[in-house]
Amino acid sequence: MQSGARGTAGAAIDGAVSLFEPVTLDELDGVLVDRLDTKYLLAAEAIPELLAALAGPYRVLDIDGERVHGYETVYFDTPAFDLYRAHHAGRPNRYKVRSRRYGTTGKAVLEVKQRMKRSRTVKRRMAMPGLVHVLDEPARSFIAEAIAGAPPATLVPRLECTFSRVTLADA
């Protein structure tokens, strides 16, 4: 995604991520599916200064020269939002089901993301031809296997969002 689409802060973010040494998707591939992570929501104007401070100890994901990556995501839940409620209640063992398309690569996956005790995150993915809005039988079987049980029968799309992000990794 080009900085113009993200406004003035986008250009400053592009400048800040240019200070980092790159890391490739192949280098991160195994690390990204089983990791400890922390996410922060910041005002766009605060990001360039923070990134500049992190440029030494971290590397930035670089895919074909792009360092700010777009995502499209569809989250599935029950009509009563049971999966969201488990997250909001802070249950130590919970999961979410989502379909995601990665803008930089164009790849799409159906993903089950499990949050285990002590902030460990484990992802299981199934390649898809595009962003999914309906869970067919192969998708339901994949979900059941990933969570070691039957998924709720009524998983439906509950939230769709698009965003851009920068991925940093320890140097």
| β-strand pairing of 58-61 with 108-115 | unpaired
Query: Three-state SS for 157?
Result: strand
pLDDT at 77 (0 to 100): 96
Find all residues with CB under 8 Å of 139, minimum gap 6, and list them.
Answer: 110, 126, 132
Task: Write down the residue that tokens 């979410």 correspond to.
Answer: 96
Say which CATH number the domain at 84 has.
2.40.320
For residues 108 and 130, the answer to whether their CB atoms sit within 8 Å is yes
pLDDT at 35 (0 to 100): 62
- Amino acid letter at 41? L
**What gap in Å lies between CA 134 and CA 157, rounded to an integer?**
8
H helix runs in 72-136, sequence order: 82-88
pLDDT at 158 (0 to 100): 97
* 57 C-beta neighbours (distance < 10 Å), count: 9
The domain total for the chain is 1
Chain centre distance of CA 14? 20
Query: Three-state SS for 81?
Result: coil
pLDDT at 3 (0 to 100): 42
Residue 29 lies in domain: 3-170
Tens of pLDDT along the chain (171 residues) come to 444 455 677 888 889 999 999 999 888 876 665 666 677 888 888 989 999 999 888 999 999 999 999 999 999 999 999 999 998 998 888 999 999 999 999 999 999 998 877 777 888 999 999 999 999 999 999 999 998 876 777 899 999 999 988 888 887
Instruction: Return the DSSP state at 145.
Output: H
